[in-house]
Amino acid sequence: TQLLEQSPQFLSIQEGENLTVYCNSSSVFSSLQWYRQEPGEGPVLLVTVVTGGEVKKLKRLTFQFGDARKDSSLHITAAQPGDTGLYLCAGDMEYGNKLVFGAGTILRVKS
Amino acid sequence: DAGITQSPRHKVTETGTPVTLRCHQTENHRYMYWYRQDPGHGLRLIHYSYGVKDTDKGEVSDGYSVSRSKTEDFLLTLESATSSQTSVYFCATRTGSTNYGYTFGSGTRLTVV
């Protein structure tokens, strides 16, 4: 059983469409991070959210941390083929020592 | 770049043999982690280190051991490789607060036949 449940597991969309990826848990996290991973490489950090209700924007990507710090979402506006990859959420439960990861969402954006 | 090197990048080994994977960092980061990545499971923590000679188990530590004799090197050993340990292994480091995120290496693809 995954501590962090990500949905959907797979998403295939056309260029220009919007999408949202969800990361849910019954546990409270001190912070939550989103990573993007390309084939043959390690994950790369996109953002960290720390405060309940926090919203962060990185260009066309919007990240939100739930008020209760148990869930998060990643919204991409006007997706582009370059957004294709594996998106992982990760939560920090113990204020610093280790992260737990969701299973990931594979995003494919077709041109 | 972040200065994390994993070696080897690819390895095929036989069941029952010991295997050691190496993670080398040039960032002087205190914390180092070994994860394995399998389809449908995301990244699962095997072992981690919070300083030289200070290590602890993660959620999937059975069959694995680690050593950290220097800040820059973190070794993962499969004591007697099994087919269930076929996976992609990632090393990660972080400096201080988790808020700054982890930096990952490029991974080692291990196949146990």
pLDDT at B86 over 80: yes
Does A1 touch chain B if contact means CB atoms closer than 8 Å? no
Residue A84 to residue B110: CA distance in whole angstroms: 25
Alpha carbon of A110: minimum distance to chain B alpha carbons (Å): 23
Q: Which of residues 86-105 of A touch B (CB under 8 A)?
A: 88, 90, 92, 95-104
| CB-count burial class (<10 Å; 0-12, 13-18, 19+) for B50 | middle
CB contact under 8 A, A103 and B48: no
Q: Share the mean pLDDT of chain A.
A: 93
**Section A11-17 average pLDDT:** 97
What percent of chain A has pLDDT above 90?
A: 85
How distant is the Cα of B81 from the closest Cα of chain A, in angstroms? Answer: 23
Percentage of chain A with pLDDT > 70? 95
Mean pLDDT of B20-30: 94
> Is A26 in contact with B76 (CB distance < 8 Å)?
no
User: Tokens representing A107?
Assistant: 């995003």
- The pLDDT value given to residue A95: 58
How confident is the model over A99-109, as pLDDT tens digits? Answer: 899 999 999 99
Position A97 pLDDT exceeds 90: no
Give the per-residue pLDDT at B39.
86
CA nearest A100: which of A20, A18, A12, A5? A5
Per-residue pLDDT at B98: 64
Q: What is the pLDDT of residues A33-59, one digit of tens each?
A: 999 999 999 999 999 999 999 999 999
Which residues, at least 6 apart from A100, have a Cβ–Cβ distance to it below 8 Å? A3, A4, A90, A91, A93, B45
pLDDT digits (tens, 9 = 90+) for B87-106: 999 999 987 766 778 999 99
- Residue found by looking up tokens 């499969």 in the block: B78
- CA pair distance B49, B55, nearest whole angstrom: 4
Task: Indicate the burial class of A56 (C-beta count within 10 angstroms; 0-12, 13-18, 19 or more).
Answer: middle
Residues of chain A contacting residue B102, judged by C-beta atoms under 8 Å apart: 33, 43, 45, 90, 99
Q: Given an 8 Å threshold on Cβ–Cβ distance, is B90 in contact with A99?
A: no
> Which pLDDT score is estimated for A92?
87
Residues in chain A: 111
